[in-house]
Every structure is written in C-alpha cells, then in structure tokens.
C-alpha cells in the first residue's frame, strides 16, 4: 500500500511543488527564468522518463496480469499485478501534470513584464 501511495500521488506532488529540487540556483531566478527552466525540464527530462518507464514496464506489467501474479511470501499480497499497474498510473499522472506545467510556463512567458 505504501508503494501505491507514492505512485498514485506523484503527479499531485509535482502540482503542489513538493518534489525534490536542487534549489541552489532556481530560487534566485525571476519568474520568467523559472518558467523557462520548468518548460525545458519538463520536455527534456519528465516526458522522456515517463515514456521510458511506461514503455519498458509494459511486458513486466502485462505478464503479471496474464498469470494474476501474487506474492510468493507466506500470507503476502494476493494482487501484485494490481500493484504493478500503478506504475502506469504514475506515468499517466506525471504526464498530465507535465502538460499542465508546460501550459503554465507558456502563459508565464507570454505575460508582459
């Protein structure tokens, strides 16, 4: 359940700006430069990572669903395949939030100073 919590709320964490960030330079930037960093970072880093995780996890998750995988531990979780599916929820919510971040950055960049 702990994994589900983190996987399902990653997009919200990004929305609320509570994710881990190296603020050494970012905190000193003005609003416009922060928008550029957000825009470039989302396109260059967030989207490719979400795509890669979604792509490379496809076989991992689909094979788990095929066999209705359960934990090998005694008294373990019966629906491990459901837990693994939250990897796609993670990718989906982060991608949606990335789209929102891009839109906010573009709006900020279009504003008059």
Q: pLDDT, tens digit, for every residue of 53-97?
A: 999 999 999 998 888 888 777 777 788 888 899 999 999 999 999
Rounded Cα gap, residues 40 and 84, in angstroms: 30
| Eight-state DSSP code of residue 77 | -
Tokens of 11: 């997009």
Domain count, the chain: 1
Coil/strand/helix, residue 100: helix
Rounded Cα gap, residues 23 and 17, in angstroms: 12
Q: pLDDT, tens digit, for every residue of 17-66?
A: 777 776 778 888 899 999 999 999 999 999 999 999 999 999 999 998 88
Contact 41, 85 (CB under 8 A): no
Output the pLDDT for position 22.
66
Q: Range of 57's domain?
A: 2-110
Rounded Cα gap, residues 19 and 12, in angstroms: 9
């Amino acid at each position: 359940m702990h994994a589900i919590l983190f996987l399902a709320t990653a997009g919200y964490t990004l929305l609320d700006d509570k994710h881990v960030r190296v603020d050494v330079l970012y905190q000193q930037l003005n609003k416009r430069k922060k928008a550029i960093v957000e825009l470039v970072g989302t396109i260059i880093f967030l989207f490719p990572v979400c795509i890669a995780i979604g792509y490379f996890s496809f076989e991992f998750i689909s094979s788990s669903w095929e066999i209705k995988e359960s934990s090998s531990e005694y008294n373990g979780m019966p629906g491990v395949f459901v837990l693994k599916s939250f990897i796609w929820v993670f990718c989906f919510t982060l991608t949606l939030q990335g789209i929102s971040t891009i839109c906010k950055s573009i709006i900020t960049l279009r504003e008059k100073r």
